[in-house]
Amino acid sequence: MWIGSAGTRSLLHSDLKDNLFVQIWGRKAAVLVPFADSRAVYPCVDNIVNSAVDPDAIDLARFPRFRRATVYRAIVEPGDVLFIPRGCWHHFRSLTPSISLNHWWGSPLTHRDYLRLLLALGPRHWLATGRDFVVHGLLGRSEARRFFFSPPSTGRRLFDLLTERDFSRSNDPLHDGDA
């Protein structure tokens, strides 16, 4: 459940599982970008499930590939239900005080999908992933939490894949205490 005042926003991000989003009270602006356009949303160097692009103030000089992304925009109101497919990039901004509910389910996007994306992103992402693999995986240092739930770094995800055979477990808020 998400409760927030007008102006509350989520960052543009991608969830590994399918998401059913229900607007209970108030109104929100929603932005969705298909996973196939992931390079165009400029995934963050330390965490490729978060985007550096602000959909509310797009800087096309800094993020020129975003111009070629398929972008869907909608206003969700009480009673609206939005299906967000696994991997689809999404961003919400509350237009009024609001209450929303969501539920993630199903099989997550595979590590292969994210590894293909990581390879396409280039050396800056590879180096950050390697650093986080060592620091947060091998050395076991905890990662900074910036929000109620901060997903693990890409390097930590790869460490989990190699040691636990699970790329998405530490991204699941239900297993957050295990991360």
Token pair recorded at residue 149: 């739930």
Please tell me whether residues 142 and 93 are part of one structural domain: no
Nearest to 10 by CA among 40, 48, 53: 53
What pTM did the predictor assign? 0.86
Would you state the pLDDT for residue 178?
41
Please tell me whether residues 125 and 70 are part of one structural domain: no
Domain region containing 27: 2-105
Please tell me whether residues 98 and 115 are part of one structural domain: no
Domain count, the chain: 2
Show which of 53, 76, 105 is a domain's final residue. Answer: 105
Would you state the pLDDT for residue 4?
93
Would you state the pLDDT for residue 161?
86
Please tell me whether residues 44 and 125 are part of one structural domain: no
Token pair recorded at residue 19: 């998401």
Q: Give me the tens of pLDDT residue by residue for the chain, a chain 179 residues long.
A: 999 999 999 989 999 899 999 999 999 999 999 999 999 999 999 889 999 999 999 999 999 999 999 999 999 999 999 999 999 999 999 999 999 999 999 888 888 898 899 999 999 999 999 999 999 999 989 887 765 566 788 888 889 888 888 776 655 555 544 43
Please tell me whether residues 6 and 94 are part of one structural domain: yes
Please tell me whether residues 67 and 123 are part of one structural domain: no
Please tell me whether residues 99 and 17 are part of one structural domain: yes
Please tell me whether residues 21 and 97 are part of one structural domain: yes
Would you state the pLDDT for residue 179?
37
Would you state the pLDDT for residue 132?
92
Token pair recorded at residue 28: 């929100």
**Tell me, what CATH number does 66's domain have?**
2.60.120.650
Please tell me whether residues 99 and 81 are part of one structural domain: yes
Would you state the pLDDT for residue 177?
43
